[in-house]
Amino acid sequence: MKKLLFWLTLVLLLIAAFIWGNMPKIAPYYKQLTKPRVGMNIDLQPKEQRSAHFVGSQKCKECHKAKYHDWKASMHSKMIQDIRKNSSVVVADFSKLPKDADFTLKDAVYTIGSKFKQRYMIPAKINGKDDYRLGNYQWNTQTGKWQHFKPYKYWYHNSYPHDNKQFPTSTTCDGCHFTGYMATGKRVEPAIACENCHGPGSEHVKDPDSPVFKASMFDPIRTNEVCLQCHMRNRDKRIETQGATAKDLWMNATDYPKGYEPGKPLISYKLPAPFALGQGTKEFWPNGAAKKNRTQGNEYIHDAMYKHGITCINCHDPHKLTNTAQKPQGNDACMKCHSFGSVIGPHQDTLEQHTHHKADSKGSLCIECHMPKTGRHTGKSPLTVRSHRFAFTYPAETKAFGMPPETNACFACHKDKTLDSLQDDLKAWGQLEWEKLETPHVK
Ligand code: HEC
Ligand code: HEC
Ligand code: HEC
Ligand code: HEC
Ligand code: HEC
Ligand code: HEC
Ligand code: HEC
Ligand code: HEC
């Protein structure tokens, strides 16, 4: 009897192990993917937070040391840096600053950015108010050169004077780079800190049982909004709600969702930059891929993964911000959900059958084909911004949409071939379906 029980248990365990081993890798995410959608208009901010104010990350550090250290090491904590506190935050070579620059290092108080480019904030009285303006040169970290910077060319051409000295950062930048500014118009902390994603924390700091917003608690579509408040190109919401033109918004067109706090319905504060498939804009190629940085949200909302409830934080730890262009994670980042021959694909049985490249080839890295480099950080930067539109773009589509060939994944590595011959390779591999064989869908 004992023996029988032993064997029975062993067999059951083996069956369980077999089932477990064959579970699709996506299984642990079923709960997230099937969460009920609450809708775009519901306010999810905890009631207790509605009367709270912003306190800054030093307060949070007292009880959340590990999260604080992860965040402190990330780029979010380094977006705006005070030059007077630490002059080593300046990455530019000021000895080479061109003669016609309208500022010197002494005039600048804050640096903006560092990784791809650095711009400088200079105190200025604009429109009768204490504000900041931007220097007329920016440092391009990728090329190691100074280049002209005329923000009015990109930010609301018809809403601001064409003069850097009259162009304020308060309405055009600060909401996305400081803590608290978007919601309250006060620069609580020069960084993208805790409360930019968790909402104002004064009540929670007094009593930890008083809740703060945690984006992953509800609808996965809404989870993304804490990131989309900044990582999505937009237009002043009044253009939609009040039919305002850029001219009507003279000196106060706002380039961020003013008034938004985490948990509130972002849709009430933000008008995404317009896009229609087939029509290129200054921000997007005609297929919806980014021409510029900071368009992750605009691209991602059109992707199948977004629609199924996969979120930014499934791929990026919100505090460490892992998976960046400087730290490629190889295929593991994708294979934590995907597996060969699985229900969500790739539908071939092996890596080589899917990619038609050797397993150890660069041509077998998921992101090289599914996140090609389509954008630039400035007009003079190299093509390095990876698309967050994960669907594969065929060479024939790149051609039919009139996009530059180097934005195509295959061409990026095979510059000696033509888009037509690369399309033929895919055809020879049997990777084209009827629809794509017929005519590339360009509408
Ligand atoms: C006095 C200590 C203390 C301070 C200060 C503090 N927290 Fe907390 N926090 C806690 C404790 C304890 C919990 C767990 C509470 C619980 O589970 O009910 C918590 C939980 C959280 C959670 C998770 C909430 C959830 O629903 O899972 C977040 C997010 C958070 N804190 C953010 C912050 C932020 C942002 C700040 C700074 C504004 C901050 N905390 C300051 C003690 C603190
Ligand atoms: C860029 C947005 C962002 C910033 C900045 C940020 N958080 Fe979070 N935080 C999140 C998200 C999103 C989650 C939910 C993560 C999840 O469920 O996987 C989270 C979760 C947490 C939790 C709960 C962890 C748990 O296991 O449930 C705590 C505590 C927390 N954050 C504290 C902080 C503190 C303290 C800071 C500042 C030092 C901070 N966060 C900065 C977005 C952010
Ligand atoms: C308040 C605005 C704001 C919010 C909210 C925000 N970001 Fe960012 N994020 C930025 C800015 C600005 C940078 C550039 C920082 C720099 O280069 O110093 C950045 C950089 C990043 C990077 C690149 C990091 C690197 O090392 O290069 C990642 C990844 C990222 N954010 C992901 C997220 C995710 C995921 C969320 C939501 C959980 C989020 N961000 C929320 C403004 C924001
Ligand atoms: C809607 C939010 C938003 C607004 C408004 C905004 N930015 Fe940013 N900015 C971001 C995000 C998010 C990133 C990082 C993501 C990326 O670059 O793809 C970023 C990146 C940058 C970087 C590059 C950082 C680095 O380390 O290389 C600079 C410089 C910068 N912004 C300057 C500005 C200036 C100047 C303005 C105003 C004229 C401005 N931004 C307005 C959200 C914003
Ligand atoms: C399916 C996984 C996945 C999702 C979902 C995803 N990302 Fe990424 N993201 C990546 C990978 C991988 C990279 C880095 C590619 C590399 O190594 O060059 C990246 C890079 C970035 C960068 C750095 C860009 C740069 O130029 O350095 C930012 C910022 C970013 N993602 C923000 C977001 C935001 C915001 C969302 C949600 C709207 C999001 N990501 C959703 C996988 C993802
Ligand atoms: C957290 C889980 C998760 C991660 C991580 C993930 N995916 Fe996905 N992916 C999904 C789900 C779910 C779908 C939807 C499947 C379906 O519709 O059948 C999907 C669909 C796709 C599709 C087909 C639909 C489309 O978007 O056009 C591609 C391509 C894809 N993923 C590529 C990637 C790449 C590349 C990475 C890594 C950078 C990645 N995925 C990481 C869960 C994930
Ligand atoms: C050499 C280019 C290339 C590489 C590398 C690549 N893919 Fe693909 N992938 C494609 C093509 C082509 C398709 C077919 C697209 C379509 O059907 O529209 C595809 C389709 C997919 C799909 C949709 C489902 C399917 O099987 O048709 C998923 C999911 C996917 N790839 C995930 C991945 C993952 C995960 C990796 C990394 C392990 C990866 N891909 C690497 C070219 C590539
Ligand atoms: C990240 C770089 C990279 C990408 C993206 C890439 N390849 Fe390749 N490809 C290579 C390398 C390297 C080889 C050399 C053989 C190997 O490693 O498998 C190769 C070999 C080939 C070959 C066989 C040898 C030859 O030159 O005729 C063909 C055909 C091919 N690639 C077509 C494509 C097509 C079509 C795509 C897009 C679906 C693509 N490649 C995407 C890097 C890439």
Alpha helical stretches, state H, 26-145: 30-33, 57-61, 65-72
How many residues are there in the chain?
Answer: 443
The pLDDT of 418-425, averaged and rounded, is: 97
Nearest CA to ligand 2 atom 21: 214
CA distance 286 to 418: 20
Q: Give the Å distance between the CA of 303 and the centre of ligand 8.
A: 25
Residue 416 placed within a domain = no
- Helix %, strand %, coil % for the chain, to 5? 35, 10, 55
CA distance 182 to 259: 6
The set of residues, in sequence order, having a beta carbon less than 8 Å from that of 275 and lying 6+ positions away, is 281, 283, 284, 288, 298
Residue 18 placed within a domain = no
Residue 415 placed within a domain = no
Structure tokens that stand for 37 in this block: 């959608």
Residue 243 placed within a domain = yes
> Which H or E run includes 354?
helix 351-355
Residue 378 placed within a domain = no
Q: Of the bound ligands, which one is closest to the alpha carbon of residue 421?
A: 8
Ligand 6 pocket at CB < 6 A: 26, 29, 303-305, 308, 310, 314-315, 333-334, 336-338, 344, 366-367, 370, 390-391
Domain count, the chain: 1
Residue 125 placed within a domain = yes
Mode of pairing for the β-strands spanning 137-140 and 117-126 = antiparallel
Ligand 5 pocket at CB < 6 A: 224, 227, 231, 293, 296-297, 300, 305, 310, 312, 314-316, 323-325, 328, 333, 367, 371, 385-386, 388
pLDDT value of residue 440 = 54
Q: Give the Å distance between the CA of 334 and the centre of ligand 6.
A: 7
Residue 65 placed within a domain = yes
pLDDT value of residue 443 = 46
Q: Of the bound ligands, which one is closest to the alpha carbon of residue 226?
A: 3
The set of residues, in sequence order, having a beta carbon less than 8 Å from that of 56 and lying 6+ positions away, is 179, 188, 189, 193, 195
pLDDT value of residue 442 = 52
Domain that holds residue 106: 47-330
Residue 270 placed within a domain = yes
User: Which has more pLDDT, 218 or 222?
Assistant: 222
Cβ atoms of 56 and 196 within 8 Å: the answer is no
**What pLDDT digit, counting tens, does each position of 266-305 carry?**
999 999 999 999 999 999 999 999 999 999 999 999 999 9
Q: Of the residues 54, 58, 60, which should be mutated to test ligand 1's pocket, given the most ligand atoms within 8 Å of the CB?
A: 60
Average pLDDT, the chain: 94
pLDDT value of residue 354 = 97
pLDDT value of residue 108 = 98
Is the pTM higher than 0.85? The answer reads yes
Q: Give the Å distance between the CA of 427 and the centre of ligand 3.
A: 39
| Ligand 1 site, residue 214, Cβ cutoff 6 A | yes
**What pLDDT digit, counting tens, does each position of 41-100 carry?**
999 999 999 999 999 999 999 999 999 999 999 999 999 999 999 999 999 999 999 999
pLDDT at 329 over 70: no
